[in-house]
């Protein structure tokens, strides 16, 4: 396994650099574990500027959830009565 990683390490690094910000964006707006994607972005050396801007999508997600709660559209089984 280590030898396979050493041989394809450059390809893995290039893939993380190319798609890392997109993966963080997807994790920021979906229920995927955001912290794991943040860790991978750091390991993939994603620029802080792109990471920061993509992470701001979490604000939109929270605002949408709050709006749905205010409208009463959020399922009552998720939030205690």
Q: What range defines the domain where residue 51 resides? A: 2-71
pLDDT one-digit tens code per residue, 25-59: 877 887 777 777 787 778 777 888 988 998 898 99
Rounded Cα distance, 60 and 58, in Å: 5
Contact 40, 47 (CB under 8 A): no
Separation between Cα atoms, residue 76 and residue 61, nearest integer Å: 19
Taking residues 1-17, report their average pLDDT: 53
Is residue 39, in this structure, part of any structural domain at all? yes
Residue 5 has what pLDDT? Answer: 43
Asked whether residue 36 is domain-assigned, the answer is yes
- The answer to the question of residue 76 being in a domain is no
Domains held by the chain: number: 1
Domain assignment present for 38: yes
CA distance 72 to 2: 52
79 within a domain of the structure (yes/no): no
Closest CA to 13 of 54, 46, 44: 44
User: What is the number of alpha carbons within 13 Å of residue 34 lying toward its C-beta?
Assistant: 12
What average pLDDT does this structure show over 54-78?
82
pLDDT tier, 10 (very low <50, low <70, confident <90, very high otherwise)? low
């Amino acid at each position: 396994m280590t030898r396979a990683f050493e041989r394809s390490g450059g390809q893995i690094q290039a893939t993380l650099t190319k798609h890392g910000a997109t993966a963080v964006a997807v994790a920021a707006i979906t229920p995927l574990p955001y912290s794991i994607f943040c860790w991978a972005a750091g390991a993939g050396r994603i620029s802080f500027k792109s990471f920061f801007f993509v992470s701001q999508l979490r604000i939109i997600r929270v605002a949408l959830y709050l709006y749905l709660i205010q409208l009463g559209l959020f399922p009552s089984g998720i939030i205690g009565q």
